[in-house]
Amino acid sequence: MGRTNPTYRDALRTMESRWKHYRRALRHADQEVFDRLFEHARAHADASGFQNDQFVEIPALVSMLLEQQKHIDDLEDRLDHLENDLNDQR
């Protein structure tokens, strides 16, 4: 086929490589969190590739935010269930 444009996954790897010095300067626990953010971006690489954005950072950040929001929604649901259980016990 001879693709001339890098794939989104290639661009994301390049972006992650550009941030390697920043990552190395983080505390170990923060490095793990940083790595999870890029895992979130990779998890949505197919959708981000369809976006075909000029800047790889934009769909990567949206992917990270999407996963963060899913996590927040899950925690809010769990909290609601716990509050309902506590109210039912009264």
Q: Where are the domains of the chain?
A: 8-89
Residue 3 CB neighbour total at 10 angstroms: 7
Q: What is the pLDDT of residue 37?
A: 95
Q: What is the pLDDT of residue 58?
A: 93
List phi, psi (to 5°) of 55: -110, 115
Please name the amino acid found at residue 55.
Answer: F
Q: Report pTM.
A: 0.78
Longest dimension (CA), the chain: 68
Please name the amino acid found at residue 18.
Answer: R
Q: What is the pLDDT of residue 1?
A: 44
CA angle 20, 23, 26 (to 5 degrees): 155
Average pLDDT, the chain: 92
Using one digit for the tens of pLDDT, what is the confidence trace for 16-43? 999 999 999 999 999 999 999 999 999 9
